[in-house]
Amino acid sequence: MRNFFNDRADIVNEAIDGLIATSGGALVRFPRESHARVVLRAGWDKSRVAIVSGGGSGHEPAHAGLVGKGLLTAAVCGDVFASPAVDAVLASIVAVTGPAGCLLVVKNYTGDRLNFGLAAERAKGLGLKVEMVIVADDVALPEARQPRGVAGTVFVHRIAGHMSEAGRSLDEIAAAARAATGAIFSIGAARDTCTVPGNPKHERIGTDQVEIGLGIHGEPGADLTSVGSSRELMGRLADVLLARVKAGVKYAVLVNDLGGLSGIECAVLVNDLLQTPLAAQIGLIAGPAQVMTALDMPGISISLLELTPEREAILATPVAVDAFPAFRQVAHPATVPAPAEETIHQASPSADPAVRGVLETIIAAAFAMEADINALDARVGDGDTGSTLAGAARAIEAKLDTLPFADGAALLTALSELKRRSMGGSSGVLLAIMLARAGEAYRDGAGWIGALADGVAAMQIYGGAGPGDRTMLDALLPALDALRAGHSVPEAAHAARHGANATAAMSRAGAGRSAYLDARSLTGTNDPGAEAVARLFEALVS
């Protein structure tokens, strides 16, 4: 299933129940039989101005997730991407409005304008004081007569909610909210549209394209284009906003994840934003955070609010609603000095042609098998084992003339440090451990074979793998056993090859990435680490 839900007709009610269940008693709702899907602050004091917003569901945490002290008093939830009914809006107004009145904050969509507007008029007919402010912050379509209301709406929620908590009047709050709507600008972009639960997805954006200015319901934007990097994309968005901002004026910026971006992508986009000329006018920044989403849309929006002393003070004040991100001043990346790299048993370069020849043969073999081992690893892992080994070999090759070949203990220790610095992943650490222990064993009087055997034992202790676990040990252990028994290098290479080939029949792995795969994915394929060990031994024979 593309989306997780039970009954499409009940998805909003169940989502509301889930939200309230985790609110710690801060939120309540109307009974389901009322058909008005409204989330309200528990214990609301009607002596203050009520702030009510809402719209179609699918933008979570907006709007219900923004109900709380200093933000919304109530949120009216329609079906996914559909405006709530007039009666639901009216019910929410009546439930929270006292003598101080109520402000409706409405995004500029026809359904919301009409349904909230009619509810406001009916509430006035009941004798309630109601004002409505419409947010139209989307600047993606410059020729649009009715710009859409998007993520910048939450600026108005915060301003109005703060002023309500401070006991300000409805007239004051409405005036401040209307002034803010004229000072908010938003632009967004996404690499794909959203998925509406229960509906087929409309594939409109190509795999190498980005749509700039699409709406929070997946509506087409201003431009469907290809961009070469996130920096280029953010530069284009910043240019649109720069055309609207006032010179010399500071702005608050909300970086809003539209629902489907990874955290690392969002962080990169924020960094890219701060490299644009717009950065000079950023007074406060919040996010990246999911505030007003479009279901699972993989995109981002940038909203700006022109700062005044009062707006800056409001945004800088913490609010006890988890979904509302904190606004802070931009903190440019600071650094502290990195500790100097420690080198153990540093030794001077020395010569031993035979030992150097063995190491050069291993390096050449690592280069030669890089593509083959990567292809093998792609079947059972992430396809980089060959490149990891080759990268370590390059690092050693670059240092060959500095290595102490005539001092076995120092050489093994130096190789361990080179592996530690140049070879990523668990395999790099394990080989560094093996060589470090081998260096100590050689220093204590063990020969080459005994030292390497001690190193492999340490690898097993720290790595947790053993024979039959479908790792490099399945080739390495038989080869070392052969050498310790006095057999020749060709015989050790034969043992390593036999061990590597045996891994193809192993239907489970006890360690490494392959441990997460089933028998169908493993059977018939040699373990990449074991295959690499076998080829290294074979290279020493040829």
On the CB side of 391, CA atoms within 13 Å amount to: 15
**Pairwise CA distance, residues 401 & 411, whole Å:** 12
Which one-letter DSSP state was computed for residue 275? T
Residue 343 lies in a domain: no
Q: How do 27-29 and 38-41 pair as beta strands? A: antiparallel
Cis peptide before 478 (omega within 30 of 0): no
Domain boundary among 260, 290, 316: 316
Examine the domain organization and report whether 297 and 384 are in the same domain. no
Closest CA to 418 of 455, 444, 391: 391
Contact between 135 and 151 under an 8 Å Cβ cutoff? The reply is no
Average pLDDT over residues 74-78: 97
Cβ neighbours of 343 (radius 10 Å): 10
Cα 304 to Cα 103, 150, 390, 415: the distances in Å are 22, 12, 48, 54
Residue 502 lies in a domain: yes
pTM exceeds cut of 0.85: no
Of these residues, 63, 162, 217, 494, which one is catalytic? 217
Torsion angle (degrees, nearest 10) of CA 470, 473, 479, 480 = -150
Asked whether the predicted pLDDT for residue 513 surpasses 70, the reply is no
Closest CA to 509 of 518, 496, 497, 520: 518
Q: Any idea what the CATH number is for the domain that residue 471 is in?
A: 1.25.40.340
Examine the domain organization and report whether 283 and 368 are in the same domain. no
Determine the distance from the C-alpha atom of residue 403 to the mean position of all C-alpha atoms in its chain, rounded to a whole number: 42
Examine the domain organization and report whether 250 and 150 are in the same domain. yes
Domain count for the chain, please give it: 2
Asked whether the predicted pLDDT for residue 333 surpasses 90, the reply is no
Examine the domain organization and report whether 521 and 374 are in the same domain. yes
Contact between 181 and 135 under an 8 Å Cβ cutoff? The reply is yes
Model confidence over 97-138: pLDDT tens digits? Answer: 999 999 999 999 999 999 999 999 999 999 999 999 999 999
Q: Any idea what the CATH number is for the domain that residue 118 is in?
A: 3.40.50.10440
What is the overall mean pLDDT for the chain?
91
Model confidence over 237-294: pLDDT tens digits? Answer: 999 999 999 999 999 999 999 999 999 999 999 999 999 999 999 999 999 999 999 9
Residue 476 lies in a domain: yes
Examine the domain organization and report whether 279 and 169 are in the same domain. yes
Examine the domain organization and report whether 23 and 149 are in the same domain. yes
Closest CA to 273 of 338, 355, 330: 330
**Pairwise CA distance, residues 400 & 393, whole Å:** 10
Coil, strand or helix at 391: helix
Residue 279 lies in a domain: yes
> The domain containing residue 524 runs over which residues?
353-541
pLDDT tier, 515 (very low <50, low <70, confident <90, very high otherwise)? very low
Percent of the chain with pLDDT over 70: 95
The H-or-E segment that residue 299 falls in is strand 299-306
In which residue are the tokens 């040699």 written?
A: 526
Instruction: Report the pLDDT value the prediction gives residue 518, as an integer from 0 to 100.
Output: 46
Model confidence over 518-532: pLDDT tens digits? Answer: 455 567 788 988 999
**Pairwise CA distance, residues 109 & 403, whole Å:** 71
Size of the chain in residues: 542
Q: Which token pair is 33?
A: 């039989």
Examine the domain organization and report whether 177 and 72 are in the same domain. yes
Model confidence over 367-405: pLDDT tens digits? Answer: 999 999 999 888 877 778 899 889 889 999 999 999 999
Q: Which token pair is 323?
A: 């979904």
Examine the domain organization and report whether 40 and 148 are in the same domain. yes
Instruction: Report the pLDDT value the prediction gives residue 201, as an integer from 0 to 100.
Output: 76
Q: Which token pair is 303?
A: 């909203």
Is-catalytic flag, 162?
Answer: no
**Pairwise CA distance, residues 526 & 509, whole Å:** 11
Residue ranges of the alpha helices (H) in 406-488? Answer: 408-422, 425-443, 448-463, 473-484
375's CB contacts (< 8 A; 6+ apart) are 383, 386
Examine the domain organization and report whether 297 and 176 are in the same domain. yes
Crossing angle for the helix pair 425-443 and 448-463, to the nearest 10 degrees? 140
| Identity at 138, one-letter amino acid code | D
**Pairwise CA distance, residues 375 & 228, whole Å:** 28
Phi, psi of 439 (to 5 degrees): -60, -40
